[in-house]
Amino acid sequence: MSVVIITGSTGLVGSESVNFFCKKGFEVIGIDNNLRKFFFGKDGSTLWVKNRLLKTNKKFKNYSIDIRNINQLKKIFKRYSKNIKLIIHCAAQPSHDYGKNFPIIDFNVNATGTLNLLELTKNFCPDAPFIFMSTNKVYGDNPNKLKIIEKKTRWELNKKDKFFKGIDEKFSIDECTHSFFGVSKTYADLIVQEYGKNVGLKTVSFRGGCITGPNHSGAKLHGFLSYLVKLSLTKKKYSLIGYKGKQVRDNLHSEDLVNCFWEYYKKPRKGEVYNMGGGRFSNCSIIEALDLVEDLTKIKIKREIIKKPRVGDHIWYISNLSKFKKHYPNWKQKYNTKKIIEELVERQK
């Protein structure tokens, strides 16, 4: 029996991973206590995802365990120890605003929870690759210091700029404002690398851009594209917070991301880190996303522009995927932003 442990198993990336690895024939052990409902209210609840996963995947079991509780986690690792072939850690407190208002909960979930999982991996299944879902917010607001120029519908870099193809893993994480969420995820990102480089585990941090897909329970504080589509189609209005709504995000479909996990699993490296988003293949500004929704649905969306941006928010962020593509040349992206939004619109109907 080959077991995959997936934390945050009913979230966007976790649920995509559950479906993927069940189809590959693995026994999938999910760890998810629907903390998103606690963070974001009923909009953030993933209970609907859990019910669907249990109905469609006979090889899936979900345990309602909080990753801050190492004793409860230990029971799972001890039970499946010799059969654990992979750990995918997606559970997190994912919001800037929530992290600022509740910094202790934010740190304990994102940092302590990750440390708990690494220690248990070391003690019970040290040969199993450990995949961590990190974030581009480890770079804080340093991307805002680039030579960004304003265009009609977006902020952009000059084509001759060395970062035009995207931000790579050597970009500085120092001398900037991160947000409390960014700091707790940075700790987790670095400790995952350390357990690879120092302890010798097969660990990787994927620093995600905007990860999205139809399983996303988008809420006001988290889930950019899915929340944008949901609010646009139900309320016919959307608030653009800061930077005139021209801030650029790269968007990666969760299916494309989980295929990254698969490539890494087949050929793991120790203490690795990859920037992982839509890159130049899939990106948009908020204005461009709203334009796409309007074009697809023929619904006019009222736009409210709020001048004050969120702390640590990026004006422009596109991931440079060159390093991952060099290490794993078989990986290919299927979804660009238009295809992603089409799927989100269809799911919302």
Ordered DSSP codes for 182-247? HHHHHHHHHHHHHHHHTS---EEEEEESEEE-TT---BTTB-HHHHHHHHHHHTSEEEEESGGG--
Instruction: Measure CA 101 to chain center.
Output: 21
Q: Coil, helix or strand for 103?
A: helix
Average pLDDT, the chain: 93
The answer to whether 4 touches 262, Cβ cutoff 8 Å, is no
pLDDT in tens, 174-220: 999 998 999 999 999 999 999 999 999 999 999 999 898 876 555 55
pLDDT in tens, 112-140: 999 999 999 999 999 999 999 999 999 99
pTM > 0.85: yes or no: yes
Q: Which residues contact 87 (CB under 8 A, 6 or more apart)?
A: 4, 5, 6, 7, 117, 121, 125, 128, 129, 130, 131
Residue 223 has pLDDT above 90, yes or no: no
The length of the chain, given as a count of residues: 349
Please state the rounded mean pLDDT for residues 222-231: 73
How confident is residue 312, by pLDDT bands cut at 50, 70 and 90? low
The answer to whether 132 touches 204, Cβ cutoff 8 Å, is yes
**Segment (H or E) for 96:** helix 96-101
pLDDT in tens, 83-121: 999 999 999 998 888 999 999 999 999 999 999 999 999
CATH architecture assigned to 3-348: 3-Layer(aba) Sandwich (3.40)
Q: 236-240, 267-271, 292-296: which has the minimum mean pLDDT?
A: 236-240
